[in-house]
Amino acid sequence: MADGYFIPSGHVLQVEMLSGIHRRTLGTTDEVMLCEFFLEKDAIVPAHSHKNDQAGYLVYGSVEMTIGGQVRILQPGESYAIPGGIVHSAKALANSLAIDCFSPPRDDYRTEAR
């Protein structure tokens, strides 16, 4: 349970969304959602799109990301921005950690949020 405006790390559950892809839904308001994604090496986020804008950055690891047909290999500290409706996918080239924001928040990720 969140403590007012603060969400202690130990209070946020990790969910394995797909094989090798783990998500923690962190701080959430009516307008924005913050999520942490741990991707095991060789894990694949299949091509998909959603109505939500998404912006994030790679904390560590290496991820091949495809956004709107453009392919890049992300290194730590690099970021990305995906407008709602754009098809995107990812493949972890190493164990990786990414932090993403969604606006509006994703209803399907709210189960663990405060």
Domain positions in the chain are 16-112
* Domain 16-112: CATH class, spelled out: mainly beta
- The pLDDT assigned to 12 comes to 86
Beginning with the edge strand found earlier in the chain, give each strand of the sheet holding 15-18 in spatial order. 15-18, 21-28, 33-39, 96-103, 53-60, 79-82
**CA 68 to chain CA centroid, nearest Å:** 17
Q: How far is CA 25 from CA 52, 66, 71, 73, in A?
A: 15, 23, 26, 25
What pLDDT digit, counting tens, does each position of 11-67 carry?
888 999 999 999 999 989 999 999 999 999 999 999 999 999 999 999 999 999 999
pTM above 0.75, yes or no: yes
